[in-house]
Amino acid sequence: MNAQLTALRRHLGEISDLQSIAGLLFWDQQTMMPPAGALNRGDSLGTLARVIHARETDPMLARLLDALEPWAAEQDPDSDDARLIFWTRRDFEKAVRVPEDLAAEMTKAKALGQHAWLEARAANDFKPFRAALAHHVELRHRYVACFTGFDHPYDVLLDDFEPGLTIAELRPLFAELRDALVPLVAAAGNPDQPRNDGAFQGEFDAEAQRVAVLDVLEAVGFDPDSWRLDPTLHPFASGGGIDDIRITTHYEPGDLDSLFATMHEYGHGLYEHQVAAELDRGPLASGVSLGLHESQSRMWENLVGRSLPFWRMFYPRLQEKFAGALGGIDLDAFYRSVNQVQPSLIRIHADEVTYNMHIILRFELEQEIIGGRVALADLPEEWNRRMWDYLGIEVPDDAHGVLQDVHWSGGSMGYFPTYTLGNVMSVQIWERLREDLPELDEQVERGEFAPLREWLGEHLHRHGRKYTPEETLAKVVGGPIETAPYLRYLRDKHGVPAA
Amino acid sequence: MNAQLTALRRHLGEISDLQSIAGLLFWDQQTMMPPAGALNRGDSLGTLARVIHARETDPMLARLLDALEPWAAEQDPDSDDARLIFWTRRDFEKAVRVPEDLAAEMTKAKALGQHAWLEARAANDFKPFRAALAHHVELRHRYVACFTGFDHPYDVLLDDFEPGLTIAELRPLFAELRDALVPLVAAAGNPDQPRNDGAFQGEFDAEAQRVAVLDVLEAVGFDPDSWRLDPTLHPFASGGGIDDIRITTHYEPGDLDSLFATMHEYGHGLYEHQVAAELDRGPLASGVSLGLHESQSRMWENLVGRSLPFWRMFYPRLQEKFAGALGGIDLDAFYRSVNQVQPSLIRIHADEVTYNMHIILRFELEQEIIGGRVALADLPEEWNRRMWDYLGIEVPDDAHGVLQDVHWSGGSMGYFPTYTLGNVMSVQIWERLREDLPELDEQVERGEFAPLREWLGEHLHRHGRKYTPEETLAKVVGGPIETAPYLRYLRDKHGVPAA
């Protein structure tokens, strides 16, 4: 078996190398590339995607898997090798089922859809985007039809982001959340109060923000030997491998959101950075799913980054850097302001409570779109109605409503739910790790983050993509996803008694 | 033929895309990559090189060329298509002649050689590098043996950098230069005077240098829409395509060399930027040879960037930015200081006259090494003897002598002569273009660089790699390379009468 296993590892190592390159090119495009380079870049990315796809669907891979599977069946099913073969088979079968012409059509529709979306957004009118969205829906159906063994079309879409998750599991989970969160938002939030409690009034110089962000990052574990921080328009984490982690943020002069965005991306980066070295250069060397990835980003952003112990440590240092704007705001007022619950129009600026309502709305609409139960012409109206029902606010126009997110413009559906799954799992993991780290609050307040990082590395990150998301979560918290810890956390934090 | 030509173009387009990616990764490695990313990067670059090599030696390419060559023979031999087929055949035949195991050995020897060189340089002792150099020499001989149709082993090495050039042409050219330059250096230079005439005494803040460099660059034609400028250790030009040009420079606090280094890299970048759009995404979309590339970088660095009209325009702006350091130095003194001839130890810091002596020394030693006429143990001594003969200076140690350059550490031989070829051709081209641009001095003094850029684009850059270097030069200046214009220029500039 040795020769086949070596050949398999070499082939997968090359795919992994090429994907690292794709990660670097994406980062470069969003941070460094001169604008006119877009045309050259489009060609390069297209060629790289074809090279990767050819390797992912190489018939040699099937022959190697055929030869190795009987051997793998006799190994410890939890061994790295057995898992590598399991996931490689799964990835291969998914990749070969999509005909090349459909893949090419989806790629083309993505570019056209984003173009139509940008125009529609600029015109503040959903109509010019409708045809592109209809085409995406048609292509999604053709994509779904490539697969068998799923109970529901939406399960096929979910599987790309959260392998194994089904709508049958998700519906009751999201219904529980919706029923608990609507009254929680009504009790804790007030759409008419000023944002951030009106705390941030001054100017926050971009360079001073960068220094403040790095001060926080280096304290929590950003090591310039393996990490970079750069500005961009829409923050993300990417990079060239487990020792080349690149996070990005965005500096707005009117607030300090860059701090929280950076903590968020730090959570993503740390997950990738702490995958076990043995899994490097292979398909298991990344976070297991978007949901668990988001559990890490949201944990660092919210459970660490919006906690009182954290700001006991960092607020004096922040105040010093922004003496003008923050001089008159004490720690308690600052803490309240960055934890304010306030229904608002735009998902990416939402607080940790109302955020989930934005997701639930999109999840419900995606099901109706895929199920053909909503006419696309009525989508803006459906959006606006739910915004009123769930958050009590009126949507003034399409740009602040149905057109706000990029996801649908590229044909991506089934992605949104992972954001809320991340929120929910982040608190399950947090409760579990506090059992092992009884002095976590004091450690955070002293700026000691190594115990937290190491716990996450040991219990979650090192596994990479070795287990299913469900198995991975069970290894960390001992059971399946559940909403109770998350709802308890929100109620406690915002002083709302259980209904 | 249409289908085969389309298939050929598509295949070559993909190679070109992958090479653009390699260019971006190189740039990233030298400017952006966190240090610990080196291991991931090594894997990615290795895989990318294998992917490119497989496409360059794909038997399908030979079949397409076989089918297309009879057709090409009936086309205008100067048509883009005929030239594309000609160069593709040449590149293919070169690529397939080197066995994969030799290519792999050379790659490995490059990494090991650079490692040994770094250690030897740190120890300031040639001996630890000797074995690695001997291994390189052996590999060079095996490489040479892969090819037929060359008169001299060194011609094979030259051909990789300056296609078609032979040692038979180079020897008399370099002998002429040496015989003319040794007395010119003796007359114009003085090793004991202070560097730059002692002009630069103050501190030159790196950020102020960056602003000054961009001021100059944007005046000569750097457009942020298609170009980037970043700091690095050893300046270079690279990028992701004709509209994604990335130049780099290095800021030392004790001088303004960054300005000249940047003008140099601008010359390289402009050549790549102005290749005809019709040639883009193919093997003809780059400068034709290292020598002609260097003619462009040296032209912008020296013929423009060290000229009096140029500094009449820019010196007041520079003085303003560095009022402390330059306040007491008038234009004439500044001009003299940046044109000072002064024999010195290190090639990369040499002025435009003595620079060639550094190259001639290396060219002579490379022939002796390849010909086995010098024992490697004697190489430092041979180096030092020539430094005394040609420049009248004593080499204190190996780090300031035989170990100073990176080229040999990677096994690269035949590269050095292209630097001096570039100097020589730059003045031939400059004389020619002044005939068409009689007001060039006035234009430069007014900061009008469009006529110069356009002339270079029209007469040289747009051709890319369509013609041989010899044909390309003949198209620009009407004849072959000759030293007289260059020597005349140096004598005029430095006030030395012809011998």
User: What residues in A contact B32, CB-CB < 8 Å?
Assistant: 32, 228
DSSP state of A346: -
B42 touches chain A (CB under 8 A): no
Query: Which among B40, B41, B228 is the nearest to A242, CB-wise?
Result: B40
| DSSP E strand boundaries for A62-133 | none
Which option is the CATH number for A2-149: 2.40.10, 2.60.40, 1.10.3470, 1.20.58? 1.20.58
User: What residues in A contact B24, CB-CB < 8 Å?
Assistant: 24-25, 28, 44
A243–B17 CB contact, under 8 Å: no
Q: Measured between alpha carbons, how far is A327 from B368 in angstroms, rounded to an integer?
A: 73
A37–B224 CB contact, under 8 Å: no
Specify the pTM: 0.94
For residues B340 and B197, the answer to whether their CB atoms sit within 8 Å is: yes
B241 touches chain A (CB under 8 A): yes
- Write down the pLDDT at residue A497: 84
* Residue-level pLDDT, tens digit, chain A, 499 residues: 689 999 999 999 999 999 999 999 999 999 999 999 998 998 999 999 999 999 999 999 999 999 999 999 999 999 999 999 999 999 999 999 999 889 989 988 998 999 999 999 999 999 999 999 999 999 999 999 999 999 999 999 999 999 999 999 999 999 999 999 999 998 887 777 777 777 777 789 999 999 999 999 999 999 999 999 999 988 999 999 999 999 999 999 989 999 999 999 999 999 999 999 999 999 999 999 999 999 999 999 999 999 999 999 999 999 999 998 998 999 999 999 999 999 999 999 899 999 999 999 999 999 999 999 999 999 999 999 999 999 999 999 999 999 999 999 999 999 999 999 999 999 999 999 999 999 999 999 999 999 999 999 999 999 999 999 999 999 999 999 999 999 999 999 998 887 6
B36–A226 CB contact, under 8 Å: yes
CB atoms within 10 A of CB B368: 14
Q: Measured between alpha carbons, how far is B70 from B288 in angstroms, rounded to an integer?
A: 25
A25 touches chain B (CB under 8 A): yes
User: What residues in B contact A50, CB-CB < 8 Å?
Assistant: 14
User: What residues in B contact A14, CB-CB < 8 Å?
Assistant: 47, 50-51
Q: Locate CATH 1.20.58 in chain A.
A: 2-149
User: What residues in B contact A36, CB-CB < 8 Å?
Assistant: 225-226, 243-244
B25–A24 CB contact, under 8 Å: yes
Q: Which two tokens stand for residue A28?
A: 């470069």
Which residue, chain included where needed, has tokens 């072959």?
B480
User: What residues in A contact B58, CB-CB < 8 Å?
Assistant: none
CB atoms within 10 A of CB A476: 21
Instruction: Tell me which of B162, B265, B301, B366 is the catalytic residue.
Output: B265
DSSP state of A376: G
- Write down the pLDDT at residue B1: 66
Closest Cα in chain A to B43: A17
What ipTM describes this predicted complex? 0.93
A243–B25 CB contact, under 8 Å: no
User: What residues in A contact B21, CB-CB < 8 Å?
Assistant: 21, 25, 44, 48
Q: Which two tokens stand for residue A157?
A: 């879409």
Residue B173 half-sphere exposure toward CB, CA atoms < 13 A: 23
B58 touches chain A (CB under 8 A): no
Specify the long-range contacts of residues A155-162, CB closer than 8 Å, at least 24 apart: A157/A366, A157/A370, A157/A413, A157/A414, A158/A414, A158/A417, A159/A414, A160/A414, A161/A289, A161/A290, A161/A291, A161/A414, A161/A415, A161/A418, A162/A289, A162/A290, A162/A291, A162/A417, A162/A418, A162/A421, A162/A469
Q: Measured between alpha carbons, how far is A61 from A446 in angstroms, rounded to an integer?
A: 51
Q: Which of A350, A354, A352, A327 is nearest to A200 (CA)?
A: A327
Q: Measured between alpha carbons, how far is A416 from A157 in angstroms, rounded to an integer?
A: 11
Chain B nearest-CA distance from A9, in A, is 13
Q: Is B172 helix (H, G, I), strand (E, B) or coil?
A: helix
Q: Measured between alpha carbons, how far is A59 from A40 in angstroms, rounded to an integer?
A: 31
Residues B357-385 pLDDT 10s? 999 999 999 999 999 999 999 999 999 99
Q: How confident is chain B (499 residues) per 10-residue block, as mean pLDDT? A: 93 97 95 94 92 96 97 96 97 94 90 92 96 97 96 96 96 96 88 73 91 97 97 94 96 93 98 97 97 98 97 96 92 94 92 95 97 97 96 95 95 96 98 98 98 98 98 98 97 85
User: What residues in B contact A40, CB-CB < 8 Å?
Assistant: 20, 240-244, 280
Chain B nearest-CA distance from A352, in A, is 33
For residues B305 and B263, the answer to whether their CB atoms sit within 8 Å is: yes
Q: Is A413 helix (H, G, I), strand (E, B) or coil?
A: coil
B240–A51 CB contact, under 8 Å: no
Closest Cα in chain B to A227: B34
Q: Measured between alpha carbons, how far is A430 from A437 in angstroms, rounded to an integer?
A: 10
**Chains A, B: CB pairs < 8 Å:** 129
- Write down the pLDDT at residue A1: 66
Which option is the CATH number for B2-150: 1.10.1740, 1.20.58, 2.60.40, 3.30.200? 1.20.58
Output the CA–CA distances (angstroms, integers) from residue B235 to B123, B318, B344, B424, in the order listed: 25, 21, 20, 22
Output the CA–CA distances (angstroms, integers) from residue B438 to A304, A422, B432, B441, in the order listed: 69, 69, 10, 8
A34–B245 CB contact, under 8 Å: yes
Q: Name the fold adopted by A150-499.
A: Neurolysin; domain 3 (1.10.1370)
| Chain Cα centroid distance, residue A46 | 24
* Active site (annotated) includes residue B265: yes
Can you name the residues that pair with A228 across neighbouring β-strands?
A: A246
Query: Which among A21, A32, A33 is the nearest to B48, CB-wise?
Result: A21
Chain A nearest-CA distance from B325, in A, is 28
Which residues 202-231 of A are in CB contact (within 8 Å) with B?
A: 224-228
B28–A24 CB contact, under 8 Å: yes
Q: Locate CATH 1.20.58 in chain B.
A: 2-150
Q: Locate CATH 1.10.1370.30 in chain A.
A: 150-499
- Write down the pLDDT at residue B263: 98
Q: Which two tokens stand for residue A286?
A: 């990344």
For residues B287 and B251, the answer to whether their CB atoms sit within 8 Å is: no
Backbone angles phi, psi at B241, to 5 degrees: 145, 180
Q: Measured between alpha carbons, how far is A468 from A83 in angstroms, rounded to an integer?
A: 10
A46–B17 CB contact, under 8 Å: yes
Instruction: Tell me which of A56, A162, A265, A364 is the catalytic residue.
Output: A265
Residue of A30, A47, A218, A227 to mutate, testing the B interface (most B Cβ within 10 Å of its Cβ): A47
Q: Which two tokens stand for residue B467?
A: 């013609």
- Write down the pLDDT at residue B320: 94
A21 touches chain B (CB under 8 A): yes
A39–B243 CB contact, under 8 Å: yes
Q: Locate CATH 1.10.1370.30 in chain B.
A: 151-499
A438 touches chain B (CB under 8 A): no
Domain B151-499 class? mainly alpha
Sign of CA dihedral A397, A400, A406, A407: negative
User: What residues in A contact B51, CB-CB < 8 Å?
Assistant: 14, 18, 51
CB atoms within 10 A of CB B76: 10
A37–B281 CB contact, under 8 Å: no
